[in-house]
Amino acid sequence: MNQNLTLSCPVASGGGNVIGDAHSLSYNFTINPRPRPGQPWCEVQGEVDQKVFVSCDCGTAEIKYLSPLGEEVKSMNAWETQAGTLRDIGDLLKEHVSDVTPERYTDKVGSGPLTLQARMTCWSKHNGHINGSWQFGFNGKLSLLFDSENGHWKVVHPGGRWMKEKWEKDRTVTDFFKKVSMGDCQLWYQAFLEHWERMLKTTGR
């Protein structure tokens, strides 16, 4: 992915890599509304415990499996449905990022279109409850947070205020973000965790 946000990802103490600790599943989206020839308009990277296991081009549906975990999950029955949902998220983000211009982004970063980065994360608390969140940024600058559990938006940077106001008024978008991060992501998390922990036990890491 060409531009990365400095985003936090909830992990357990000790790095989240010990059997029995909390784990996290994240998907990082980069949306470029005006890509150069040969450049994808949407890229997605999947991470478990901040370890990248898959990369996907939303436009061509090309998927690269980047770790032993990725090679294992590609045979899962739920993967085809998951890949389709990730492309749906990319389409939605592309539709909305086209409305964000430097004039609306209060901290003007140039005259060209803004690139949107989004990070969806779901993770398990120590009591077993699974939570979800979204983080959004433009041109690599974190701007907006969404707590999927309580439905609250938080502006981190003034540039995210316009998008927050727009999405708060659009219940369909808010409900979609909540459903995907608290519903779909939770199912993926539980399915992946079975494979992930089995591999950890096998390798002894």
What is the structure's pLDDT at 111? 56
- How far apart are alpha carbons 47 and 83 in whole angstroms? 14
Residue 73 resides in a domain: yes
pLDDT at 105: 55
Percentage above 90 pLDDT, the chain? 21
Residue 1 lies in a domain: no
How far is the C-alpha of 175 from the C-alpha of 104, rounded, in Å? 24
Q: pLDDT band at 112, cuts 50/70/90?
A: low
pLDDT value at 135 more than 90: yes
The answer to whether residue 57 is domain-embedded is yes
Residue 12 resides in a domain: no
What's the pLDDT at 1?
Answer: 44
CA 116 to chain CA mean position, Å: 12
Looking up residue 166, the CATH number of its domain turns out to be 3.30.500.10
Q: Structure pTM?
A: 0.81
Q: Which domain holds residue 185?
A: 22-203
Residues 56, 1 contacting (CB under 8 angstroms): no
Q: Is residue 54 part of a domain?
A: yes
Determine which of 67-71, 92-96, 144-148, 175-179 has the lowest per-residue pLDDT on average. 67-71
The number of folded domains in the chain is: 1
**How high is the mean pLDDT of the chain?**
78
